[in-house]
Amino acid sequence: MKSLQIQDYCVFFLYFITVAAYGYWVYRKKKSAASASHDYFLAEGSLTWWAIGASLIASNISAEQFIGMSGSGFKMGLAISSYEWMAALTLIIVAVFFIPVYLKNKIYTMPQFLSQRYNGTVAMIMAVFWLMLYVVVNLMSILYLGALAIHGISGLSIELCIGLLGLFAIIITLGGMKVIGYTDVIQVFFLVLGGLVATYLALSLVAEKSGQSGIWNGFKLLRSEADTHFHMIFSKDNSNYMDLPGLSVLLGGLWIANLNYWGCNQYITQRALGANLPTARKGILFAAFLKLLMPVIVVLPGIAAYVLYQKGMFHAEMMDSKGIVDVNKAYPNLLNLLPTGLKGLAFAALTAAIVASLAGKANSIATIFSLDVYKKAINKNADDKKLVSVGKATVIVSMLLAIVLSLGLGEHLMGEGKQGFQYIQEYTGFVSPGIFAMFILGFFWKKTTSNAALFAIIGGFAFSVLFKFLPGMVDLSFLESSGFAKAGANGIYEIPFLDRMGFVFLLCITGMFVISSIENSKGLKAHGLEVDKTMFKVDTAFAVGSLIVCAILVALYSLFW
């Protein structure tokens, strides 16, 4: 039933009032010795390790996971969990190797890193680019997919849902990073609790449909009735190979996507940049453990929805206007089966995930625009008070732009049966290889030059576009035997987008090495960062925690290979 009852609204408003009241208390009481701008944008010195870890997850898990990844679980199964489980290992790598470099060199924004390491031109190009990416791809997709989910369980119009989500996110974001960081702890609580309730219901329903009871029996039935949905590594003949191309998930392009997202992304790293190294590492390790749990919350319900669909449930509800199964409707339809009260809890969990991500993105947009565009190109004499005012105005403007874009383009880009999660991954992947190449060489090879970085930015995007449209110009059937190409429905051999990312990254690294070597031979000096081996040492507790994460990952992939 597409509606909420009074008890559901009561649960939801309890969540809303709790978040709003706690956020206001944090805003009024939390003091910091940092400057006004660093306090507002970074919460410098204010966030504890558990707040950092919770905020990382709350900002990351959104409608793209609850709706998009659950939809991918419906279509392709547990394999989509690689984005979550490999992210746990990625977070440990970022904590050990990336965060120390940022903190040692007092880097607070990604454009600041590029300016300090390369030059102002590279930094400004990327600042403008990131602003466009965050608004056009991230904010818009989160708003649209989130509104689609809430519409699916509440019956409210998508337009109204988009507007209300944007308004709630603005209220949270205007309080600054302190408010976002600490309210994210509550958001994660509702997110995890509501998500687990939905998973419990889904597994129980699967068991009931077969005359059994209990979530363990439900899970065993999933394994037997949807066996093809429990393979992490696809073979070349799998219909989903283009989305998750076999071993490339473990050895190829997924590493680039994850390392770029978790290590070179203002939206994510900002949570840890205001803390000291031990606190930041503990917070990131905590996030890694939470990441291991996420597929239970967002992927298993999608697989359960697939089994229930095969048993005849919500056939009509899963269809789009063209009579095609819309996988993005799997999770909302599952939530509609929840009893009154629990449905309100799931509604609150969805809202928490969406609003936390919107707030995190909007704060990053405000940080980059205020510190890296406004301060450097528009008003170099702006004081802290002015920067905070500009940041708040940027939050409002960016959210309004995202609302307009999601209303105008959301359905065209992510509706009508398209996999929302895959849309975000593929189109972000047009720029990830070049950005990651620029960062990784900038970190660890002092001879990397500014022109090499420009090549990665421009060349990386150009190569990505070329590989995307190459199948229409060249017959790539010779790549089929190696697994790097597969014939689509139209008979044209295409390259999986994760493999495209891997190829583009290698081309960017090679080009940067050649350009830097030529310029170094002509006497051009690069601006290396302060890096020494002692920065990468970790304490015993962190090492033990990291080994536990690795052991769990080995067990999971061994079990579900």
pLDDT in tens, 305-315: 888 888 877 76
- pLDDT at 114 exceeding the cut of 50: yes
Most trustworthy range by pLDDT among 341-355, 440-454, 487-501: 440-454
Residue 482 lies in a domain: no
Judge whether 17 lies within some domain.
no
- Beta bridge partners, 319, equal 325
306 in a structural domain? yes
What integer pLDDT is reported at residue 532 of this predicted model? 78
- Per-residue burial over 179-216, b if 16 or more Cβ lie within 10 Å, else e, is bbbbbbbbbbbbbbbbbbbbbebbbbbbbebeeeeebe
Instruction: Please give the Cα distance from 510 to 506 (Å, whole number).
Output: 6
Band (pLDDT 50/70/90 cuts) for residue 41 is low
Note whether 255 and 87 are within 8 A (CB): no
- In this prediction, residue 353 has a pLDDT band, given cuts at 50, 70 and 90, of confident
Identify the band that residue 178 occupies on the pLDDT scale cut at 50, 70 and 90: low
pTM of the model: 0.82
Q: Is residue 104 part of a domain?
A: yes
User: From the CB of residue 380, how many other CB atoms can be counted at a distance below 10 Å?
Assistant: 8
Asked whether residue 314 is domain-assigned, the answer is yes
Query: How is residue 235 written in tokens?
Result: 């073979």
Least confident interval from 109-118, 312-321, 546-555: 312-321
Is pLDDT at 22 greater than 60 in this prediction?
A: yes
Is 63 a domain residue? yes
pLDDT of residue 523: 77
Residue 520 placed within a domain: no
Rounded to whole angstroms, what are the CA distances from 126 to 216, 414, 434?
49, 26, 11
- CATH, residue 320: 1.20.1730.10
Range of the domain at 99: 35-208+257-428
Structural domain tally of the chain?
1
Tens-place pLDDT, residues 208-251: 888 888 888 888 888 888 888 999 888 888 878 888 888 888 88
Question: For the chain, what percent of residues have pLDDT higher than 90?
Answer: 14
Residue among 2, 18, 1, 5 at smallest CA distance from 344:
5
pLDDT at 37: 56
Give the CB-side neighbour count of residue 353, counting CA atoms within 13 A.
Answer: 28
The residue with greater pLDDT, 15 or 511, is: 511
Establish if 341 belongs to a structural domain. yes
